[in-house]
Amino acid sequence: MTAASNTHFLSTQPKLRRRGVMLVLASPPGGGKTTITRKLMQLDPQTSVSISATTRAKRPGEEEGQHYYFVSPEKFKKMVDDGDMLEYALVYNGNMYGTPKAPVKKILSEGRDILFDIDWQGKRNLEKFAGEDIVSIFLLPPSWNILKERLHGRARDNEEEIKERLDKAQDEISHYAEFQYVIINNNLEDSIRQVQEILEAERLKRHRLLDIQDFVDTLKPL
């Protein structure tokens, strides 16, 4: 097949509507979930990242509505009471994190994919709402020492915060078996590629192809 004929072949492929994927990336602190989530969003225009609400203070360089929605504990509680959160959890230093519901529902219905940078507790809670919409990946560090080096290398947490994150990391790693896919994040580029391959395959799952039966019905002899 020539390049010209191949281009024509691709241009005539039917475009089926699909339902979006809720892609959950989880890891222990320093495991790479935030870096990979942001890189994937840059590489793939069909994806956007879920923006969490949190009660913690804004860090230098963070922007409202881009990194988090920074809210007071009182407002966070009201969102929970009003049923406006898909999931929420108490995490480091007594701060609350949660996923607002409305933006997620809109993105899925438009056939786009939404990326979640959350922990295993958040994934469990999302599953109560999402069912087959969720695809979950757990990122493991290549070794414990490398995990510690990564946390110290970020230079954004003090020693007390790093110790607290390391204390929790072992428990988080113990939940890896609750996830559909596991990637050992030794090389960032390789891990990003593996995540992309998983997402591409999940997009082709039959239950996500909204028009597939209508298309199949056209496959009849003339």
| DSSP codes of every residue in 101-139 | HHHHHHHHHTT-EEEEE--HHHHHHHHHHHGGGEEEEEE
**pLDDT (average), residues 101-112:** 90
Residue 70 reports pLDDT greater than 90: yes
Closest listed residue to residue 146, CA positions, set 47, 65, 57, 32: 32
pLDDT, tens digit, 9 for 90 and up, residues 127-144: 888 888 999 999 999 999
Residues near 73 by beta carbon (within 8 Å), at least 6 away in sequence: 55, 96
In which band, very low, low, confident or very high, does the pLDDT at 160 lie, cut at 50, 70 and 90?
confident
- Is 19-210 a CATH 3.40.50.300 domain? yes
Structure tokens at 42: 């840059």
Highest mean pLDDT pick, 75-84, 143-152, 161-170: 75-84
Mean pLDDT across the chain: 88
Least confident of 96-105, 172-181, 207-216: 96-105
In which band, very low, low, confident or very high, does the pLDDT at 155 lie, cut at 50, 70 and 90?
low
Please say whether the beta carbons of 191 and 37 come within 8 A.
Answer: no
For residue 50, the SS3 value is coil
**pLDDT (average), residues 157-173:** 84
Residue 115 reports pLDDT greater than 90: yes
pLDDT, tens digit, 9 for 90 and up, residues 15-44: 889 999 999 999 998 899 989 998 999 999
What does the buried/exposed string (b/e) look like for 3-28 if buried means 16 or more CB atoms within 10 Å of the residue's CB?
eeeeeeeeeeeeeeebbbbbbbbbbb
Residue 173 reports pLDDT greater than 80: yes
Please say whether the beta carbons of 164 and 91 come within 8 A.
Answer: no
